[in-house]
Structure 1
């Protein structure tokens, strides 16, 4: 990562970069213009527990016990997602949208694991496998409607999942095209929010539900995270140790909500990311720099292995599939002779 003058900033290793600024110009621009978070980590190991961490700051005992079996390829336990409605998936403190409901705060969901106050148009688009940059238009239409009515939900949650990619599966969009689509969607959404009448009171938090062992020189839990708001410390690098629960705790404090578990209650709020002097400068979308319709050829690296992976929904991979996908992404971008870096894990939250 480099600042506007080309000087390296943050704790990064360019040798591990797969989707650089050419592929993700909006993610880079947002981190550069708002705040670069280079010491933020996912609480979740995989998506099954990661979605619970991301919305409830807690993983039910049954889920914690069952995900290793599922991700080990031994079958999916008999529970459903839906509204996280299966009793085995319930958490004592509920989800953050449940807290909003209890406190009388309006909310809206653009998210595939919940039915409450859901955008049905978004749900239909997801069922039709609409691409992220196209689905973003649904939100843009909604925010125009919010402006016309002079009211907007106090809390919204959204999943943009195309950056999972379909690996190098022949006929699927290339990993670069998938990530670029996701990047364009984020850029569209932030631009629309920053040019709306609600911007002066908004904060947008962006994080993965899990990093799922992506190559990193610090720790495999370290993740992409963004905080976008007029009250963000512009152009700063915040190396404070944060987690998924830190992000949730910060949202709760902004909304006046109580913690959902001991984990968000004890997490460090993201105080260092914010300032009390707002900068209302709007964000300008960076257009894509690569073709969004590029597809994998039949001879792509690990094409046959990718054909055996279920990409029909995000987060269906076993640990073996995950490793195969990570290696396919690495070698298809870095070349077959570049050694795969493997998984880095550290007990310390500090830098090496």
Structure 2
């Protein structure tokens, strides 16, 4: 393997998507984004019966390999986006996260204090106050002369403005934040970071366009590592006028985007030496019958076992340990050094078949309707701001303590 593509998504548990997978340790009653799902909108005026929400995830798992014993180290997005770049939250981050999510920290526009001093919201990047001494994966890669390129990872600071007109950036920051030079120099300026107002379909359009220009033209070779954020499985409020009539619509958007990027990459000349790793930044917005931190981990490559579920115990450190083993560089910290690697996923038997993406159910998500506003002539100033990452009302609505998610209530329904 010479090329790695690391894809991060948002907030889902294992059971929500893979609970129905027969050869995995799942609870089918919790697979609300699986196959044959029925649901309605928040006003109960529209419903869908028997829909396949994340069909590409299920197909990819069937054709390639996945884990049913992978646990995110994070609790929420704020610390999750630290773990995702091979750093670990320090005391400052852990304290600020709890205070911010608890409603006791907010950004004061009138403050005369220099700097930020306190994280507020679910920042998707590392602040100077909690940057590890050894740095993150970006510093580690540069120190070891490994070429990489980034699409949307680790460049989102709070507070920010999440307006749809920032379709190429994702947001605008209220104040300047220092971005480490290794990632700034190697980050796409045409790919949107987290912003739920921007369809994942638009992100994949931009990814393919830039990939073609950079690494399919014959001038440059695909880097050893590419990072990509595809965040819309975070979910947000219903927007039927924009192609999202249900909360499930965001999951379908995300699923189609994942299917499209895997299909595209599997048809490039780099596929025969490529590994795609797909995971989540945290698992806070769903329910899982094993543990609240259990999430999805998929490996896609000609070199992984087919229709395979690995039962080994894995963490974010396992992902990075495998990356560094493949790239032949040292481990960055104690978390990747001490983790189990992902060797169990790989096979000596190679299969260079490409992947064919499944379309979204038009009852759930309309890709073209979601993309229509992204015409250059559209009136961007007339658009509303996007929901912020991990906003409180959204988290309450998706709370693990909702009555229909409680085990005792599900047991009553069975009886």
* TM-score bracket for the superposition, by shorter chain length: 0.7 to 0.9
Q: Which residue of 1 aligns with 2:212?
A: 144
142 and 214 in structure 1: CA distance in 2 versus 1, 3 angstrom threshold? same
Matched, 1:28 2:58: yes
- Can you list the C-alpha shifts for 1:114-139, whole angstroms capped at 9, x where unaligned? 3521111103x866932002210111
321 and 179 in structure 1: CA distance in 2 versus 1, 3 angstrom threshold? closer
Cα distance, 1:323 vs. partner? 3.3
Matched, 1:121 2:160: no
108 and 72 in structure 1: CA distance in 2 versus 1, 3 angstrom threshold? same
Q: Which residue of 2 aligns with 1:16?
A: 30
Cα distance, 1:245 vs. partner? 1.3
The equivalent position to 1:313 in structure 2, one of 388, 392, 395, is 388
Q: Which residue of 1 aligns with 2:396?
A: 323
218 and 26 in structure 1: CA distance in 2 versus 1, 3 angstrom threshold? same
- Can you list the C-alpha shifts for 1:145-169, whole angstroms capped at 9, x where unaligned? 3122251111111111111111458
- Preserved contact between residue 65 and residue 308 of structure 2 (Cα < 8 Å): yes
Q: How does 1:273-288 map to 2 (within 5 A)?
A: 273-288=345-360
Q: Which runs of 4+ in 1 moved over 6 A?
A: 80-83, 169-172
45 and 342 in structure 1: CA distance in 2 versus 1, 3 angstrom threshold? farther
Cα distance, 1:287 vs. partner? 1.2
Counterpart CA distance in 2 for 1:39 and 1:79 is 31
Cα distance, 1:311 vs. partner? 5.5
- Preserved contact between residue 160 and residue 182 of structure 1 (Cα < 8 Å): yes
Counterpart CA distance in 2 for 1:285 and 1:256 is 32
Cα distance, 1:312 vs. partner? 2.7
TM normalised by structure 1 equals: 0.81
- Preserved contact between residue 161 and residue 314 of structure 1 (Cα < 8 Å): no
- Preserved contact between residue 41 and residue 221 of structure 1 (Cα < 8 Å): yes
Q: Which residue of 1 aligns with 2:305?
A: 233
171 and 62 in structure 1: CA distance in 2 versus 1, 3 angstrom threshold? farther
Counterpart CA distance in 2 for 1:94 and 1:148 is 33
More helix by share: 1
- Preserved contact between residue 230 and residue 281 of structure 1 (Cα < 8 Å): yes
Counterpart CA distance in 2 for 1:47 and 1:70 is 12
| Equivalenced residues, count | 314
Counterpart CA distance in 2 for 1:342 and 1:64 is 30
SS in 2 for 1:30: helix
Cα distance, 1:182 vs. partner? 0.5
Q: Which residue of 2 aligns with 1:341?
A: 406
Counterpart CA distance in 1 for 2:202 and 2:275 is 23
Q: Which residue of 1 aligns with 2:118?
A: 78
Worse overlay, 48-57 or 107-116: 107-116
Q: Which residue of 1 aligns with 2:225?
A: 155
130 and 169 in structure 1: CA distance in 2 versus 1, 3 angstrom threshold? closer
Q: Which residue of 2 aligns with 1:335?
A: none
Cα distance, 1:277 vs. partner? 2.8
Cα distance, 1:95 vs. partner? 1.6
Cα distance, 1:342 vs. partner? 6.8
- Preserved contact between residue 272 and residue 302 of structure 2 (Cα < 8 Å): yes
82 and 35 in structure 1: CA distance in 2 versus 1, 3 angstrom threshold? closer
SS in 1 for 2:187: coil
SS in 2 for 1:242: coil
Counterpart CA distance in 2 for 1:110 and 1:91 is 22
SS in 1 for 2:335: helix
Cα distance, 1:170 vs. partner? 8.3
Cα distance, 1:143 vs. partner? 2.5
- Preserved contact between residue 39 and residue 240 of structure 1 (Cα < 8 Å): yes
Counterpart CA distance in 1 for 2:342 and 2:247 is 32
- Can you list the C-alpha shifts for 1:202-258, whole angstroms capped at 9, x where unaligned? 111111111015211111100011111111111112111111111121112112232
Q: Which residue of 2 aligns with 1:42?
A: 72
SS in 2 for 1:247: helix
TM normalised by structure 2 equals: 0.69
- Can you list the C-alpha shifts for 1:9-32, whole angstroms capped at 9, x where unaligned? 211111111111301111000111
